[in-house]
Amino acid sequence: MASNLIIEDIQIEVRKKKIKNLYLSVHPPDGSVRISAPLAMSDEAIRDFALAKLDWIRKQQAKLQKQVRPEEKQYIAGENHYFQGLPYVLNVLYTGKKQRAELKNGQIELYVRQGSTQEQREKVMREWYRSELKKLIPPLIAKWEEKIGVTVNFWGVKLMKTKWGSCNPRAKRIWFNLELAKQSPRCLEYIVVHEMVHLLERHHNKRFYAYLEKFLPDWKECREELNIYL
């Protein structure tokens, strides 16, 4: 059940679903705004929530408007790179010590050798994304092992071109796409749940989607958000 809410000059798509909490998201590339709300929540309560978040919405839209979107990242200072669904300006710094990246002072600081190539900088960034994603995944697996009633024997991270994740139900082994480090936390959680549900049902059939609906009622919204990128 969808409707539109207009506050000042901002149009917000409101979707009421069988969920317990409110979800607010600002989507690239144009900064469109969406709120998912419980079915029983009144329009007035949703409007009050949106008003309270108006400054945050404007900040996220401003970040998206300023983002430079080259066809291929050059890994140079001033570029925007996503982490957990938000764009951060890249600041390139030179070091004689270990090459690394870190989130600091509201930006991603990339420490590399002077004269490093684009490929070398990209490799450092990828390793940072890998390290950060490996911190985010374990608590989600632990949370959903208990909720779903399954056990993951092994999980890993690798770069995939056409899938966000893959699962071998027999081995109880799951792989996650490295690009998930750039996506919003709820999209990451959706992929974790999606792959773990395969431990209950191997195929994408009615039974599988019934489980998804049970465990994560707003899964379709997350899938739509991720479909922009793959």
pLDDT tens profile 5-51: 999 889 999 999 888 888 898 887 778 899 999 999 999 999 999 99
**Reported confidence tier of residue 67, pLDDT bands at 50, 70, 90:** low
**Reported confidence tier of residue 137, pLDDT bands at 50, 70, 90:** very high
pLDDT of residue 111: 98
**Reported confidence tier of residue 71, pLDDT bands at 50, 70, 90:** low
Residue 119's identity, in one-letter code, is E
pLDDT of residue 230: 66
Better-scored residue on pLDDT, 227 or 53 = 53
pLDDT of residue 115: 94
SS (H, E, C) the chain: CEEEEEECCEEEEEEEECCCCCEEEEECCCCEEEEEEECCCCHHHHHHHHHHCHHHHHHHHHHHHHCCCCCCCCCCCCCEEEECCEEEEEEEEECCCCCEEEEECCEEEEEECCCCCHHHHHHHHHHHHHHHHHHHHHHHHHHHHHHHCCCCCEEEEECCCCCCEEEECCCCEEEEEHHHHHCCHHHHHHHHHHHHHCCCCCCCCHHHHHHHHHHCCCHHHHHHHHHCCC
Domains and their CATH numbers in the chain: 2-66 (no CATH), 80-125 (no CATH), 129-227 (3.30.2010.10)
138-219-164 Cα angle (round to 5): 55
Work out the average pLDDT over 69-83.
Answer: 84
Residue 45's identity, in one-letter code, is A
| Distances, alpha carbon 45 to alpha carbons 10, 21, 82, 92, 179, in Å | 17, 12, 31, 44, 35
Residue 193's identity, in one-letter code, is V
- Least confident stretch, 4-8, 67-71, 142-146, 177-181: 67-71
pLDDT of residue 19: 86
Judge whether 182 and 129 are in contact, CB under 8 Å.
Answer: yes
Of 181, 178, 177, 182, nearest in space to 164 by CA? 177
pLDDT over 70, % of the chain = 97
pLDDT of residue 98: 95
pLDDT of residue 70: 44
Q: What does pTM read for this prediction? A: 0.74
Tokens coding 219: 């899964």
User: Is the confidence at residue 135, as pLDDT, over 60?
Assistant: yes
Of 166, 161, 185, 186, nearest in space to 176 by CA? 166
User: Is the confidence at residue 3, as pLDDT, over 90?
Assistant: no
